[in-house]
Chain A
Amino acid sequence: MLELFHAEPTGDSARVLIVLEEKVLEFRGHYVDVLALEQYRPPLVDLAPRGDIPVLVRDGAASVGASAVCELLEEAYPERPLMPTGARERWCVRAWQKHVDDILASAVSELAWQAYAERSLPPPARAELEARLERIVPAEERARWRTALAGYGEEQLARAHARVEDTVARVEAALEQAEWLAGPAFSLADVAVFAYFKYLPALGGARLSESEAPRALAWLRAISERPAVRGALARGRAKDPFSTATPAPEQIRWG
């Protein structure tokens, strides 16, 4: 049996939900309220002690890390493939996934948190979270929460903008070569980038515009309209999950 513990269907949670829906797999979804710190309490803390979300549970075994979990689902359920067959194309998918994990995920999440923190965490909820942080969040995770609650600095946000712009340019260049990021077929690479790019049009300032990145914009629209993607994005509690945010994952600390 498959179970998925997931947050609002954006970012990494959206990646795994989309793969499950694309493959038409039956699974039990459990919504995790990240801003209520549910990921640090039972039953989740026993499955993923560091508070990773999403968590896939397959026949009782828990797995974390969106890229690794998406590949696991691909390997376990190869029908309706989301990985190409050639080794070089598979390398290409993994290189995109790595770019998302290393660069794009934190950059977009920082910009989204900057835009939506107040809406996602109104003052009373914020005060409650601050009061519980010390007691519930594991010591090594607290700095990340405190940084987010204090607000990301100008330098960090400028870097996030630059990273997003660089990624938009790369996506546009890739889509000049092929219909999808890793070749002629929709793949885990498209899923990974989409799950973060979907934030961009509303955030503005990221050059994902008709004039500067027409292919990327059309690609984003085409993915948004896939039935599996619509299904995945409807699994949250918010009307528009991409107008909510949670603290960003940590940036890589050294170049």
Chain B
Amino acid sequence: MAVELYFFQPLGTNSGRVFLALLEKGVPFLERELDGLAFEHLRPEYLAINPRGQVPALIHDGRPLTEGAPICEYIDEAFGGPPLRPAGLEERCNMRGWCRYLDVDLGRAVMMIHWNRIVPAFVGARSREEVQSIIARVPDPDRRRAWRRAYLQETTPEELAESRRRIEAGSGRIEQALARTPWLAGAAFSLADIDLLSFYAFLAKWSPEFVNERATPRTMDWIGRMEERPAVRELRARSRIPQRPPMLERAVATASA
């Protein structure tokens, strides 16, 4: 039975990590792209697949799997192809620590800043009532709260400053790790590198004040090596807008208009 992936453009964060894990393993799959800007992930057809209304969802053997990090480990265990987790047990534990940190700490700091910048712009054409009624349909309470806070610009300057502090601290940690080993979790490429690309590396283009040749040379070198990987090239080729998240393009266009 065919493998299907429900995901969003841009190919970043949770959609990106699963998409890239499939490409790195060489698993053929059907692309089921949902339009986040049209809120397709809140339609009943998709809620039947994931009642929480979040992407990605992977369909394998006719049944759905959700949650980015557990899906990635599933992909490594359920399909052939090169291993995406280190063989050494402590290294594997270290990899899981990085994946978790990138997903729920550093990645969320990036996301908080990103959403606050773009959400008002990309829903701007709709009336306030329409946007609020769409947000009220988001099933997950935390996600709903994040949408509302970004749309109403309720995030405080202190919270945003704390996110910037975390990105700076995280950038230092990542740079140190990449000074010790060629890949984030050790000598071997792993899911930690996939997550670093998906949750963080786009800052080099998007927020170069954090990630640049002078401040984070090892990270820039790692990005160069990642971009040469056949699976990452394939990811870029399949992504409609490879340079910057499209929602950001739109926000930038709106801001400069």
Chain A residues within 8 Å of B, Cβ to Cβ: 58, 61, 63-65, 67-69, 71-72, 75-76, 87-88, 90-91, 94-95, 98, 101-102, 140, 159, 162, 252-255
Contact B108 A254 (CB under 8 A): yes
Q: Name the segment of B89-97, B198-206, B243-251 touching the other chain.
A: B89-97
Chain A residue numbers with a CB within 8 Å of B94 are 63
Q: Name the segment of B60-68, B123-131, B233-241 touching the other chain.
A: B60-68
Additional A-B contact list (18), CB under 8 Å, known A68-B97, A69-B93, A94-B67: A61-B90, A68-B93, A71-B92, A71-B93, A72-B89, A88-B65, A90-B73, A91-B73, A94-B73, A94-B74, A98-B67, A102-B104, A252-B142, A253-B112, A254-B115, A254-B163, A255-B144, A255-B147
Chain B residue numbers with a CB within 8 Å of A58 are 89-90
Chain A residue numbers with a CB within 8 Å of B163 are 253-254
Q: A101 — nearest CB in chain B belongs to which residue? A: B100
The docked-state distance in angstroms from the alpha carbon of A254 to that of B112 is: 6
Identify 6 residue pairs between A and B in the complex whose beta-carbon atoms are under 8 Å apart, listed by A's number.
Answer: A65-B96, A67-B100, A68-B97, A88-B60, A101-B100, A255-B147
A101-B100, A102-B104 as given contacts; A87 in contact with B78, CB under 8 Å: yes
Chain A residue numbers with a CB within 8 Å of B146 are 254-255
Q: How would you classify the secondary structure of chain A's contact residues: helix, strand, loop or mixed? A: helix
Q: Does any Cβ of A come within 8 Å of B252's Cβ?
A: no
Chain B residue numbers with a CB within 8 Å of A88 are 60-61, 63, 65, 74, 78
Chain B residues within 8 Å of A, Cβ to Cβ: 60-61, 63, 65-67, 69-71, 73-74, 77-78, 89-90, 92-94, 96-97, 100, 104-105, 108-109, 111-112, 115, 140-147, 159, 162-163, 169
Q: How would you classify the secondary structure of chain B's contact residues: helix, strand, loop or mixed? A: helix
Q: B111 — nearest CB in chain A belongs to which residue? A: A254
A253-B112, A254-B115, A255-B144 as given contacts; A68 in contact with B74, CB under 8 Å: no
Q: A166 — nearest CB in chain B belongs to which residue? A: B141
A140-B169, A252-B142, A254-B146 as given contacts; A68 in contact with B67, CB under 8 Å: no
Contact A98 B141 (CB under 8 A): no
The docked-state distance in angstroms from the alpha carbon of A90 to that of B108 is: 26
Contact A255 B70 (CB under 8 A): no
A64-B97, A162-B141, A253-B109 as given contacts; A98 in contact with B70, CB under 8 Å: yes
The docked-state distance in angstroms from the alpha carbon of A67 to that of B93 is: 9
Contact A252 B108 (CB under 8 A): yes
Q: A52 — nearest CB in chain B belongs to which residue? A: B97
Chain B residue numbers with a CB within 8 Å of A63 are 90, 93-94, 97
